[in-house]
Amino acid sequence: MPTYTPPLRDIRFTFEHIAGLDELAKLDGLTHADLDSSMDVVGEFGRFCVDKLLPTNRPGDVAGSRVVDGRVVTPAGFKEAYAAYFEAGWSSVPFEPGYGGGGFPWLVALAMQEILNSVNMAFALCPLLTQGFIELLTVHGTEQQKQRYLTKLISGEWTGTMNLTEPEAGSDVGALRTRAVKQADGTYRISGTKIFITYGDHDMAENVVHLVLARTPEAPPGTKGISLFIVPATLVDDDGALGERNKVNVVSIEHKMGIHASPTCVLEFDGAVGELVLDEQQGMRGMFTMMNNARLSVGTQGLGLCEAAYQAALQYAKVRTQGRAVGSPAGTSSPIIEHPDVRRMLLTMKAYTEASRALCYFNARQVDLAHHHPDPDARAEAAQLGALLTPLSKAWVTDLANEVTSLGVQVHGGMGFIEETGVAQLYRDARIAAIYEGTNGIQAIDLVLRKVPLRGGAVLTEMVSRMRATAQELAGAPGALASVGSRLADALDTVEEANAWLRRNAEDPDQLLAAATPYLRLLSQVVGGWLLGVEALAASRALSGAPSDDRAFLEAKVATACFYAEHLLPMVEGLIATITSGKEALFATPADAL
């Protein structure tokens, strides 16, 4: 099994030069979270993850979660690992101090999530689902709901779930049928079947609290008629004590390609007692509160898998010898890292991983600014930029996770296909991230239909202007940076060509939908190149006077941006032709002749 080391040097660099953490830490409420303090938290959490969670990753994959007597039993070691996680207080780091949270920036939470997913994605899903519940309740819960549930969810004593999906309602949430009938005491009785409920039951905490989307009897069809309910697995008395079991049953758990340790449940709500959140039919408004952050977190799952796969492949490529590299003495066998094609794979993994980190952390910066900046205009601006970036963070980074973990397998050759090596698990685990929390196709549709048009298109235009400024700065810099600048400028021309095409076709939704996925890839590919360009400029500046033990890191930053600009950025030249060819070819053959 490969070892994993939290990439603290790159996390710190990205905190500094992409996410501007020092500036964030000057905002009210975040002043305890300066760069050094934040890195202390991340570093300590990294040690915890490597010590306590990494060892459970492969055993958890092999054993999987099981249903025993109608309850979910997690793999050996998970209960103890969760207890340690809860006792150390890791679950509370970014949440409201008023309810027991640590009040750290979202950025710091995201770096922790990256590491958590690098060591054990199946485990990481439990806090991830709880996080969504916490955010929603923080904004929309009554004070009583917060006292009863929020504090226990933030502390990690209880965990939360999201119950959206039903057999006929996946991407189309509005099609859901679960019913909620109001009782004389103000509570509701919830009945229906929910599927794909992550950690819908488990044995790691003493209560599981479900957030359930359901429909009241008179509600209109579609998303407008959806209401939101808190449904605890074990009922909670007014004084907070646990009472009897609610009428929520685990019907079964799924046999999945990956994340075996994470129980994906079919839940039957059989007249279960629920509490309304917000007013009736306000459910979707509530969901949107947490959706952006949840999507960014799923992108970060992809980042964590990229990093783990890269480290595994790099280690293997340094020790595995096969064949003789050009220039090596006759009769010797070279580490495969010396072969150009292996080097190409490793650099692709490294460049995409660092670009993904830059994107997710930059996106998290917007979340923090939108929450903490004193100026309401600045808050709105950050919220909009964050909203534009979110489908990129979710879809591009999870697509890259499939690509990068696949390269991780490939670098290992035949050993990559053997489960004991560990990279096959990363490849299998990664595959779900492009699907859940809105498929990547849905993300692309969100991008072209809702995010590109934000503020009349100005949010996008302003981001393009920022990228142009970086390209110009690079073009004026010495050496390799100038060439990165010129390639980035070319790619930005292509982005503007694509944007113009979207504007011209704004009245024809099928055109936009046909272009959505290649457009998301194009824009993301350029944003990734831009952020690596920003990092290269910062690294180049830092090089003069850098301590000798940091020079290799900084020089590699510049080299990685060059590699990306030369080998990965040119992809956009192919994508633009696809985008502008439009919908016609998609519908030339009738469905029944396919």
Site for a copy of itself in 555-584 (CB under 8 A): 555-556, 559-560, 562-563, 566-568, 570-578, 581, 583
For a copy of itself, what does the binding mask look like between residues 519 and 538, x meaning CB under 8 A?
A: --------------------
Contact segment (CB under 8 A) with a copy of itself among 29-37, 204-212, 426-434, 471-479 equals 426-434
Site for a copy of itself in 243-262 (CB under 8 A): 254-258
Contact segment (CB under 8 A) with a copy of itself among 34-42, 211-219, 381-389, 410-418 equals 410-418
Among 155, 282, 439, 486, binds a copy of itself (CB under 8 A): 439
Q: Measure the CA–CA gap between 78 and 261, rounded to whole angstroms.
A: 9
Active-site annotation holds for 419: no
Q: Smallest distance, Å, CB 396 to a copy of itself?
A: 15
Site for a copy of itself in 289-328 (CB under 8 A): 314, 318, 321-323, 326-327
| CB atoms inside a 10 Å sphere around CB 273 | 20
Q: What is the dihedral of CA 89, 95, 99, 100, to 10 degrees?
A: 20
Of residues 153 and 226, the one with the C-beta less far from a copy of itself: 226
- Closest by CA to 253, choosing from 191, 178, 194, is 194
- Closest by CA to 410, choosing from 312, 323, 338, 332, is 312
Q: Is there binding between residue 456 and a copy of itself (CB under 8 A)?
A: no
Structure tokens at 86: 């809860």
| CB atoms inside a 10 Å sphere around CB 302 | 32
Q: Is there binding between residue 418 and a copy of itself (CB under 8 A)?
A: yes
- Catalytic residue, chosen from 96, 166, 437, 535, is 437
Q: Smallest distance, Å, CB 177 to a copy of itself?
A: 13
Q: Among the residues of 25-150, which ranges form H helices?
A: 35-48, 57-63, 78-87, 106-119, 121-140, 143-145
Q: Measure the CA–CA gap between 494 and 501, rounded to whole angstroms.
A: 11
Site for a copy of itself in 159-178 (CB under 8 A): 165, 168, 170-172, 175
Maximum separation of any 2 CA atoms in the chain, in Å: 87
Q: Is there binding between residue 387 and a copy of itself (CB under 8 A)?
A: no
Structure tokens at 307: 């990093």
Distances (CA, A) of 552 to 468, 508, 559: 28, 51, 10
Among 155, 234, 410, 486, binds a copy of itself (CB under 8 A): 410
Site for a copy of itself in 213-242 (CB under 8 A): 221
Q: Is there binding between residue 184 and a copy of itself (CB under 8 A)?
A: no
Q: Smallest distance, Å, CB 118 to a copy of itself?
A: 17
Contact segment (CB under 8 A) with a copy of itself among 18-26, 149-157, 287-295, 404-412 equals 404-412
- Nearby residues of 268 by Cβ (< 8 Å), 6 or more positions away: 193, 248, 249, 251
φ, ψ (nearest 5 deg) of residue 193: -110, 130
Interhelix angle 548-563/340-372, rounded to 10 degrees, is 100
Q: Is there binding between residue 420 and a copy of itself (CB under 8 A)?
A: yes
Which residues are known catalytic residues?
A: 437
